[in-house]
Every structure is written in C-alpha cells, then in structure tokens.
Structure 1
Amino acid sequence: MALTGQGRHALRHPPYRHWFLLLLILPIIGISLLFEGWTTHEVDGARKRFACTAPIPRSADNGDPVLRVTGDGTETARMPHRTAALTFDGGPDPVWTPRLLDLLRAHHAHATFFLYGAQAARHPDLVRRIHDEGHEIGSYTYTGGDLGSASRLRSHLELSLTQSALAGAAALNTRLLRLPHTTTADTMCGAEWSAAQRASDQGYLLVAATGHSRKPPQGVVRQYSHTSLGYQEAAKLLADPEVGRFTTVTEGLGRSPLTTPASLPQRIQGRALIWTQSVGHTFTQFMTWALGIAGGLGMLRLVLLACLARVHARRRHRSGSPWPHEVTEPVTVLVPAYNEEAGIEATVRSLLASTYRDLQIIVIDDGSTDRTVQIARDITDPRVTVVQQPNSGKPRALTTGLSYARSEIIVMVDADTVFEPDALHHLVQPLADPTVGAVSGNTKVGNRRRLLGRWQHLEYVLGFNLDRRMFEVLECMPTVPGAIGAFRKDALTAIGGISDDTLAEDTDLTMALWRMGRRVVYEERAIAWTEVPDTFEQLWRQRYRWCYGTLQSMWKHRHAVVEVGPAGRFGRRGLTYLALFQIVLPLFAPVVDVYALYGLCFGDTPQGLGVWLAFLAAQMVTAGYALRLDHERLRVLWALPLQLFVYRQMLYLVVIQSVTTALLGTRLRWHRMHRSGTANQQLLKSPVPSPSSLSSK
C-alpha cells in the first residue's frame, strides 16, 4: 500500500477504472436482489389466484387427472385399475424429501416429484438423488407462482427457468407440469385454463389429481406435499393392500418417459442459473445481517456521541476551569499560505484583534503566485512577520515557521480562518497541564448560507465537534484541525517536527503526539470560523485529500493498537473507531443503501419506512443536541434529511475512491481549494459572532 511519502508529489493520476467496476457491481447487486425478490414473490408477485370466471371445457371435465390441450380439443387420461401414481408437490426440501425417498425405497415404490425450479437450484444434490433412484421429475414452476394471475413474462420465466434449473442440477429436461394452486382438473378454470393452454402449446403434459371420491382400486393420481402431512398421507396409502401398484405418471399411463437428457448448452446455462441464484440468496442473507449490523452500529454511535458529549459538558460545567493555572506566556501563531489573497488579511487581522496580546504571528508564504505576500506585508504591525519559501507544501511551510518561533506555545492556523477575539486565550489554557501536548479548537463554518454550506455546517457540528467531545472523554483524539490548534513546542520537537509523510499532516501530527505519551484535548470555547468549499467539485477534492491522508496516518501509526499507556488507548479506541465508522461502514454503505431501497420498494414498505424514519429521528435529536452544545440555531435541522440523500452519498464515494487509490498504490497530489474570501471578509467587517449571540437568535 502506497500510504506514505511526499504527499504533494503526484507520480501518476488517480485511478478511475474502479468507478467502472463500481458501476458494474451495483447493477449486478440490484439485479441479484430483484431476482431474489422475484423468486419470493416480492417483485412481480403471483401468489394470489384470480377467481374463476368460466369452467374448464366439458371435454376436459370428466374427472381424468392427465390432460393435453390441443388445437382440436382436450385429450385426457387416467391410471389403470388398481394403480396409484404418487405425486409430491414442491421441494426438494432438505428435511422431508430424503424421508420421502427413504419411505418409497422401503416399499419398493416409485413416484413423480413436481419440483420448484428455485428449490432445485438450491438443492441440486436432492434432484440428482430423486432421478438416480428411478423416480420421475416434473415441473411445479420456478417459484410456485400462479400462472393464471402471472404476467406473460413471469409465466414464461416460471417454466423456462425451471427447465434450466433441472438441467443444471441433474442434466435433464421434463415435459410434465402441475399448475400450482390446482388439485383436480376442474380447478384449472378461468385464467388457469388459459395458462394450461399456453403450457400445452409448449409441449407440456398437465397432471392434476384424482378426486378423493374415487376409490383407490379404480386407479388414481394422488397429490401430496413435501411436508410431514404429505409424508403421513403417503405412508398410509403405501400401506393400503387394495392398491396393486405404485408407479410414476408416465409409467402408469404406459407412455415413454417425458424426462429427457439436457444438452450441453442447457447444462451450462443451468449451472450458471444455480450459481447466480446461490450468489443472490447468499448476498441477500448477508445484506440482511449487514443492514441490521450497520443500523445497530449507527444507532450505537449516535448514543455514544450524545452520552459522552453529555459527560464532557458536565465535566466542564462542574469543574469550571479544569486547568491548574492560567496560561499567559507568549504564543507564536503560524499561518502557512499558498495563493490565499482572498482570506489572508481577514485571518491576520482577526488574530491581531485577539484579547491575547503577547503574540508573534508568522505568515509563511509557500511560493504564492498571487498577492498573498503583498497583502500580508501591508499589515503594518510589529507582531506580524512574513517569511517566503519556494513552493514545498504545507508541512515544510510549518517547519519553516517553527524555526522562526520565539515562544514555547505554537498555534497553527489555516490562512482562510477567522478567530473570535477570545479564541486564542481559550485555546492555550489546557497547555497549563504538562501532560497535554496539543489542543483542538472549535471550527465553525462561515459560509453557510447556501445548502452545501449548511450541510457542511451540520457535519462540522455533528460529525466533527461532537466527535471531539467523545474523543476527549475516551482519550483518543485523532486530529487537531489545521484551522485551529495549539501545541507545545517541546512536544513537536520530541516527535521530530511536522512530517510530510502524509497528506493529512494534522492527523499524522496528532497521532504521533499520542504515541509519545502526550494527551490531546478539545476546547470548545476556542472558536474559529473557516471558509468551506462552495461547490461539489471543490468539496470532493478537499475530502478526498482528507480521507486519503487519514488512511496514510492510520497505516503509519497502526502499531499503536499493541502499545501501552496513552498510545495504546489511542490505538485501540481511536484507530478502531476510525477504521469502523469512517472506513468500513462507508465502504459498504452504497450496497446497504441499494438493499434498503429494495426493501422499501418491494419488501415490507411500512416497516422499512418506519425504521428509516426512526433512524432519522435519532439523528435529528442527536444533531439538535450537538447544535445546542455549540450554541447554534436549531432551524438548520431542516437540511439534515436532504443531507442523507446527496451529501452523505458523496462522502461514501470519497472513502471508496481513497481506499482504492491506496490499494492500487497510486500517489495522490495535493488538492488546493479555491477560496472566494467572501465569508472571511463578512466576518472581518462585522463583529465576530459569539456563541451567546448565536444562541439568542
């Protein structure tokens, strides 16, 4: 896996072939689900029989159980005197078919088994045993659908797929047919008679049952099921001394067998059908479990987030300031910038307006080609220093800035971020505890007026800040965001500075601090406003880099799961959480969504809709709680349901793209987001909003 190295260098373009693979896999999954639903009558169901509108023709209504419908009329036949043709409908059944075969063997009798094609495909060994022991095989259609109420397409498939299943299972074809949901010949009335005519046109001999009013010595066709009742009734008839012979339908009629060997192409087609049905059935069972597990894990995550966020809030409320003393020592702020003319002035001026006065602000220009350097130098304040270097990437820009730092406390800031006046003061206070190596601030979305901005606003509050509260309680914070984070300089020195091994230097840096035994905490009162992507293309590029960089960092620090102390706690809690909820579940999410959509359309729709609404309600409650904790307005919750349909799906695809990129060994180039600076300029011109002002609106 090419998960480490100079992230800014692109050795070759990211792969796109896997998208064609995904576009191929999802339709295959959809077709498999539809086929499985078709076999269970969830799709194009044909379980309900139409009421008879007309009786069968008089020529067929003579009580004879065997019929062939021709253009000239109907031919009927019955069993000879003292002859009973035993027929068993349904199956093969893994429980009762072997028992029935053992029963027949004990009485040296043969029978005709009318089989479901779907069951024959699931249990081909039983089909072969039926045939090898000298019994006759007929068709009971593929799924037992009522051919009278079925569509023409379904009626055709019910018969043709059964032939394919029998060819694949036992290399045979059959021209014996029993129409499901019929018993004696007169029950093939109304729409069933039309189905019987179509089947006869395809060469099938129709087999009904003899009415029970006739005595066995007259010659009968008896109809039983693959159940305990069928077994008991068959055993009773086999013990009847008045029946002279038990045989198959065609043997009893003195006809040539209507089961013939299947051709090689038919056998190949049948094997393909058996394999396809097996895969579809297995996949459906797996997805049933996967959907339940994914839903359970999703609910568990929401409960954990809410409960642990509550624990975090109570700790802060009970203890007031949990830190041993107030931090007032000098702070160096590093602002790496590359073509940030749109937002650099707002960022620097917000830092200069901070209530924390003992500042050194270092703007590190990473080879910008726009007016970034000129704008930064035009800010005439002795606390601001502008440093230039050739374009080398953000990690090396931070390393350069670190070499100019005069303070033991380092704050790293993105060049599109606006700080609230008291943000720096709150941010550095946890560093009063010598065990704390880094502090994550509270990043908020500045440009949230459009729908995409609102979605990201919800994600920052629910998906990032609520997560950070939980991570602090569990002592496994995986990332101090590049937008606002404070560090001890000695901790940075101890881990070798800022590494450029990954595209997520902030995540890599945070994980390295944990492995050095330093704690990382979250300070929700340190608020900074950032500009988020305002187009899906920019959002994709940003999240792709984040996700790929997180994968690199996880791989780089994977040994933390077996370490002890803070490193081990972080590894077993933080890395496990990231692997499960940010990689594994998103990878399966598109398939789970396809299955859930199938369930809503063809399964128990009210139940499926109820489950989805319950999950949405849980998300709404959790999001509302997160907004309250962050002192944000609740009215933005209206955008959450829409987020699930569009925004969330894009994030799932980002994970798929990132994992595939890593597995294929493709190196990813640095993706820079285009900044408009609109949000930052608005925040700079107006008073920076405070939590109290937001909560009162």
Structure 2
Amino acid sequence: MIRRRPGQRSARDIPLRTHWLVLTVCLVCLVAALLLHGYTQHLFGTAPDAEPPERHSFGKVPGEVSSGGPVIDASGAEIRTASPKPKTIALTFDDGPDPVWTPQILDLLKQHDARATFFVVGVEVAAQQELTRRINDEGHQLGLHTFTHADLAALPDWRRSFELRQSQLILAGAAGVSTPLLRPPYSSKAEAVADEDWSGIKYARELGYLTVLTTQDSEDWRRLGVERILTSSRPVGDAGQILLVHDAGGDRSQTVAALAVLIPELKARGFRFETVSETVGIPQPVRKATVSERLRGLGMIGAIKLSDTVLLVLTWLLYLVGGLSLLRAVATVLAARRHSRTRSAAWPEPVTDPVTVVVPAYNESAGIEAAVRSLVASDHPVEVIVVDDGSTDGTADLVEALGLPGVRVIRQANAGKPAALTTGIEAASHQLVVMVDGDTVFEPDAVRLLVQPFADPGIGAVSGNAKVGNRHGVLGHWQHIEYVVGFNLDRRLFDLGRCMPTVPGAIGAFRRRALLEVGGVSEDTLAEDTDLTMALCRNGWRVVYEERAKAWTEAPNSLGSLWRQRYRWCYGTLQAMWKHRGALSQRGPAGRFGRRSLGFLLAFQILLPLLAPVVDVFALYGLIFLDPLRVTVLWLLFVSLQTLTSLYAFRLDRESIKPLWSLPLQQFVYRQLMYLVVIQSVVTALAGSRLRWQRMERYGSLKVPAGHSS
C-alpha cells in the first residue's frame, strides 16, 4: 500500500473526469478536422466544366431561361436574364486561382489593359489568398465556383448551402469582398440547362445569387493546341460573348499562349474586354465584406489549414506506429526463436535446494485453498508461508483448517501487499524464495523448474510463465492471447537483452540475498513486482525467464475489473520507470538495463499505445473518403501480422490456436480499452495524483486445465 501524507487524497478520491472531458473535446476537434480535410480534398470535383454529367430531362426549365441570356438575375421576383453587349467580351476563368497559371494570365491581362472575371473555388482561394487579393486589386471581378467544385445539380440542399456559404466566407476572409456572382460547375450555355441544373440555379437564386453561364467555350480543357483554342474562342461577327476559359485544373500553357494572340487580335477588331457585369450592363455586384464576414472567413481558412496540418502530423504518426509495430513483431519473434534454442540446455546442474513460497493474502478465501494445495503438491521441497494481511473473510482460518504439512500462516494488520511480502521474506527458512499471488495455482513441477536457473550464481530472480486459467468467453480469450503473445514474447526478448523489467507477482522466484540487498519489497509504487525487478537489475543481478514453469492465474471476467487491474498495472509501471530513471545515465549492468528496458517500455508500452488511436482514426477516415477496399486490405495485413506473431507465440507455449479466432475482434474493443488505460494512467501521473492499491475481485474458478501439465 502506498503511504500518503496527512491530508493527501488518492486519485480514487480526486475526480479525474476533467481530463476525459478534455480528451473528448480533442477527439471531437480531431474528427472535425479530418472530416473537413476529407471533404475538401477527397470530395473535390475534378471533371472538366465542359463535361457535365449526362442530362435527359428539360421539361421544368422555364422558357425565359433556356432561350434567354447567359446571366440569370436573382434580384427581382420574376426571372430575368441578360445578354452581352455587342463588341464586348467577358473573359471568365474557372477553377482557380492557380499559383502557376493565374499569375501569368494576370500579367497578360495587365499588359493588354483587359479586365476579366475569375470564378474561384473556395478551397483554392484558401490556399492562394494573396493571389486572390491580387485579382481583386487589379480591377478584375470575382465570382464563386463553389467550395469544392461540386455539381450543385446533384447535391441535396444542405450541401448546396454549405458549398455556397463556405466559398463566400473564404472569399471574404481572403480578399475582403462578397460577391453574388456564381457559376455552377459543369454548367455551359443557357440552352443546355436541364431540370437538374435548374434545381441548383433556382436554389442559388433564392439565396440571392446571380448565375453566370456562357455563350462560347474555348475548349481549352481539351488541350488540343493553341490554334484549336483560338478557333473555338473567336466570336462570329460583332456579337458580344461570355467566353469560358480556365486558369487552373492542369497544364494551361496552351491557354496562356492562345490568349496572348486572341486579346490583341480582338482588340484590333474593336472588341472590349470587360467584367461580366459591365459586359451585360448591370451595376457592380461585388461589395466589400463586413468585419464579421471577414473574421468568419479567416476562421474558415484557418480551419482548412489546420486540418491539412493535422492530417500531415497524423500521417507521420501512422508511419511511426507502423514502424514500431513491425519492429516489435520482428524483434520479439527473432528473440523468442533464439531464446527457445538456447534455454533448453542453459541449466546443466540441477538445483535441489528447498524453497520458501510466500503467499500474500488479503480476503483470498475464494481461491486460497486451490493455491495452497497446488503448492504443497509440488515435486520440489517447499515450505509455504501464507501472510494474512488483515483479511476479514476468514482467509487465515481457512488455510489453518486445511492442516497441510509445511504450511505456516502469519497474521498481521492490514499493511498492503509489499509489507506482506516483506514479512514472508523475513520469515523464510530457505535462501530461495518463490512469491505467488493468492489467486494462482501452480503445476506440480512449476517450483522445481522455476528455481533451476539459480544454478548460475549471478542470477537473482526468475520469471515464470503465467497462464490465464479462466479463459472462457471472448474476454478470457483476449487476455489469454495477451499473456501468451504480449507478456511472454516480451520476456524472452528481455531475457536475451539482460534487461527484464518485471517478474510477475503470479509466479516469480528470487534469491533471498538479492532481495535483502535491495531492501526487500518497496511500497513506493503500485507495481511492486516491477519496482523490485528493476531494483535487482540495477544492483547487478541478472533476471531470466523460465517458460516451462507454469502457473495459472485468475483474470478479470468483466471489462470494469479488467480496466481497474490494467490501470493499476500501467500506473504502477510508470511510477517504477520514473523511480528508476537514473539507470539511463548509469554505467555497467545498471545502465544497460536502463537504456534497454526503460527505452523498450517507453517506446512499446507507453508511446505505441498512445499513438495506437491513429490507426483507428485513419481506418475510419479511409473508409469514408478513400478507397474502402484498399483500407480493408491494409487492415487485413495488420491483422495478419498480429496473427502470424500470435501463431508463433502459441506454438512456443504449446497452446491450442483455437482462441485466435477472436483476434480480429480484439481490434474493436480490447485494443481501444488498453490504450485508454494508458492515456488514463499517463494523465494521472502527469497530474501528480496518487492512486491507491485496488484489490481485484476473486471468483475461485481456478483449476489446472487438463492436458497442460509439463
């Protein structure tokens, strides 16, 4: 139990809901940023304007529209159209502004003293604010071409409103103007307006927009050469025209070259190049934006840029997560392979010294009998010391009533698990000490196999192989997989690297002299087993893993219980890492342990779980905005990597692979729970709160499964 200063409250007493609120707000902002980025980048219309979707119905289009002029006026109750004045050309540029071609076109217009109208796309304006301001400052007219070059005819009303409103705000933020001029993407001449097009035009008209169609298409989007563009752009006779040209959407070098010929040629014929409003003879429709419009527009532009940054950061984090996951899988599998080949002959001299088994017990009546009986049945000489830490459920009485030979019960007032372990160590009759939780059942040969590494005098502790006993149900399968794949593969790697950070409380053996040298079991952290193991490593003792020594432990059977257990484990590990951070700068075995073990824990048990949500976020992003098939394939590859690693781990532990059917389901619940535990633990640690030890609920369900004896 962690001792607290007077007046200090535990984290259990301190509400930590604030950080969940902050996390929720951050998650909502992240989702909003990704939705905005996905909308602007992956729902962007890329088909040429002059290639509208196929239309079939024209019956609902008013005659005054289909037979009228290219400009549809929305200022009055009745539909009015306007046509260009003779000898007047309105050059209208769509899809920009473009950082390469728009400046060249502006230079050309300035050179020939010609004015034009630029129908800009909101997303492009946000990216090219200075260029948009230049268009306005040089006397040209600005119109809207929607937010993402979307086909208004095919959109529901809410998206039409969104497309128009956001493009208007962005224009206000970038250039300080507001315009009612609108050219719907994929529109052309008035006689080509279909029922679907009219639906979009009518919706925009009700919002006060002036729809500008064309009378002539330069066909520059076809890129058939300068001469073809000139042929398509020259007016017949003296009729005025609203000419469709493009300043963005690809290579517009042919467009620039054609305009350099067309403008002086038509000027020589007496044509004037004016804005749309001047060409059809209506008052200047573009006005100065209000302060509110400008501020909201700048906010929208900032949101778009932020969403781009967020996705860039997440992309790099995804690479980092993928790299860490692959590195961990490769490293642990290779280490496990080498460990399995070298460990079988590692202990040639048998260890027959008797062993003291210390069992700390606090209200363990549900499973203590099975635990003690399994220890007494060991094929190695043992004395069993059950330290009753102030139990109120008759645990001590139950053990004494068993009357088992070699079993002692020590009663003490409740002082916490570390204190109970220290009491047992002090009372031990032998130099080899095994520590075991009160909910754990040993196999008959577990103690004997566990102490064999002590043939090497440099070894101070041995980690055994903890197995999930109550592995029924999906939650039990998931924990069983985690024990076999996560914990045991890692321990093989740590063993080879001589940097074992944890001997589990369920099954671990220690040299008593080594325990006394480090001052016994500390109460400084909630993960007393990790704290003790790190202290032994820093003191020069080697800690190894003996996978043949098996014990069966009772795992939580509900998500709530699992959360509490893992929260305590993770928080305690963070405490131990912080306590032993000095090992990073030490030399010799202590420094080796610190740099290897603490580095591994930081990278793979803290950083990787914290970054794991990136995978889920990107999966959802991809399903919505990218190719779902590609995302599914990548997800299957990720699961396949986990499956292959799991198959190898199960083979090493001689386990049935049947529970692996639940591995894909683990991605949707269990993995999220684990990284939320890490987030909770890190926030608790950073907040400086202290969490008190929480005892797990016992169910007394343990029996050694048939067919698992060594």
Structure 2 length normalisation: TM-score? 0.90
Query: CA 1:250 to 1:234, structure 2 compared with 1: closer, same or farther past 3 Å?
Result: farther
**Structure 1 position 46, deviation (Å):** 11
Range that drifts further, 186-195 or 415-424: 186-195
- Supply the distance in 1 between the matched residues of 2:587 and 2:132 (Cα, whole angstroms): 58
Which of 77, 84, 87 is residue 83 of structure 2 equivalent to?
Answer: 77
Separation in structure 2 between the aligned mates of residue 288 and residue 690 of structure 1, nearest angstrom? 48
Find 1:261's aligned residue among 273, 285, 288: 288
Local SS of the residue matching 2:16:
coil
Rounded to whole Å, the distance in 1 between the matches of 2:591 and 2:116 is: 67
Q: CA deviation at 1:141?
A: 0.2
Aligned to 1:313: 340
d(CA) in 2 for partners of 1:63, 1:295 = 60
Deviation of 1:510 after TM superposition, in Å, equals: 1.3
- 1:370-403 Cα offsets, whole Å, 9 max, x none, are 1111122224345222212211111111112221
Say if 2:45 and 2:148, in contact at 8 Å, map to a contact too. no
- Which of 353, 358, 368 pairs up with 1:329? 353
Residues 85 and 281 in structure 2, CA contact (< 8 A), matched pair in contact too: no
Task: Give the alignment of 1:281-292 within 5 angstroms.
Answer: 281-292=308-319
Pair 1:214–1:410, CA change in 2 (3 A): closer
Superposed CA RMSD in Å reads 2.7
Instruction: Tell which has more relative contact order, 1 or 2 (C-alpha 8 A, sep 6+).
Output: 1
Matches within 5 A, 1:474-553: 474-553=497-576
Structure 1 contact 67–77 (Cα < 8 Å) conserved: no
Shift of 1:215: 2.8
1:118 is paired with a residue of what secondary structure?
Answer: helix
CA–CA separation in structure 1 for the residues paired with 2:518 and 2:164: 71
Report the equivalent of 1:560.
583
- Between stretches 562-571 and 363-372, larger displacement belongs to 562-571
- Residue equivalent to 1:233: 255
Q: In structure 1, how many angstroms separate the alpha carbons of the residues matched to 2:205 and 2:458?
A: 86
State the secondary structure of the residue aligned to 2:165.
Answer: helix
Aligned counterpart, 1:695: none
1:689 maps to 2:708: yes
| 1:349, distance to aligned residue in structure 2 (A) | 1.5
CA contact (8 A) 1:46 1:145 kept: no
CA apart distance, 1:265 = 2.2
> Within 1, Cα distance between the matches of 2:4 and 2:544?
28
Q: CA deviation at 1:44?
A: 12
Matches within 5 A, 1:120-135: 120-135=125-140
Residue 435 (structure 1) aligned with residue 462 (structure 2): no
Q: Secondary structure at the match of 2:694?
A: coil
In the alignment, structure 2 segments of 5+ residues that lack a partner are 219-231
> Do the aligned partners of 2:379 and 2:445 also contact (CA within 8 Å) in 1?
yes
Does residue 116 in structure 1 map to residue 152 in structure 2?
Answer: no
Q: Percent identity?
A: 51
Aligned pairs for 1:402-413 within 5 A: 402-413=425-436
Relative distance call for 1:411 and 1:43 in structure 2 (3 A) is farther
Aligned position for 1:26: 27
Distance 1:116 1:43 in 2: 10
Instruction: Deviation per CA, 1:40-97: give whole Å up to 9, x if none.
Output: 354999999542124565544568543336654441211541x433222123333333
> Aligned to 1:617, what secondary structure does the other structure show?
helix
When residues 159 and 312 of structure 1 are mapped into structure 2, their CA distance, relative to the original with a 3 A threshold, is: same
- 1:146 paired with 2:151, answer yes
Match of 1:356 among 351, 364, 380: 380
- 8 Å Cα contact 2:69/2:81 also seen in 1: no
2:94 aligned with 1:66 = no
Q: State the alpha-carbon separation in 1 of the partners of residues 459 and 506 from structure 2.
A: 19
Secondary structure, counterpart of 1:84 in structure 2: strand
* Aligned residue identity for 1:87: T
Distance 1:133 1:477, change over 3 A: farther
Change (3 A) 1:61 1:257: same
CA-to-partner distance for each residue in 1:459-508, whole Å, 9 max, x for gaps? Answer: 11111112211222233222110111111222222222211111001111
Q: For 1:160-239, what aligned pairs fall within 5 Å after superposition?
A: 160-211=165-216, 212=218, 213=232, 215-216=234-235, 218-227=239-248, 229-239=251-261
Q: For residues 671-692 of structure 1, what are the alpha-carbon distances to aligned partners after superposition, in whole Å with 9 as ceiling and x for unaligned?
A: 111111121xx33xx878315x
Alignment coverage as a number of residue pairs: 680
* Other structure's SS at 2:612 match: helix
Q: Which runs of 5+ in 1 are unaligned?
A: 692-697
Q: Counterparts of 1:21 and 1:160 in 2: how far apart (Å)?
A: 30
Aligned equivalents of 1:187, 1:299: Cα separation in 2? 56
Q: Residues of 2 paired with 1:230 and 1:652: CA distance?
A: 50
Contact map agreement 1:6 1:502 (CA 8 A) in 2: no
1:268-283 equivalence runs, <5 A: 268-283=295-310
Conservation of the 8 A alpha-carbon contact between 1:141 and 1:180: yes
* Structure-2 change in CA distance of 1:62 and 1:534 (3 Å): closer
8 Å contact 1:38–1:45 — kept in the other structure? no
Moved more, 166-175 or 560-569: 560-569
- Measured against aligned partners, the alpha-carbon deviations of 1:642-675 in whole angstroms (never above 9, x if no partner) come to 2221122111211111111111122111111111
Decide which moves more: 558-567 or 573-582.
Answer: 558-567
Shift of residue 343, structure 1, vs aligned partner = 1.5
In structure 1, what is the Cα distance between the partners aligned to 2:166 and 2:706? 72
The answer to whether 1:400 aligns with 2:441 is no
Cα deviation, residue 597, structure 1: 1.8
Is the CA contact 2:45–2:151 (under 8 Å) kept in the aligned structure 1?
Answer: no
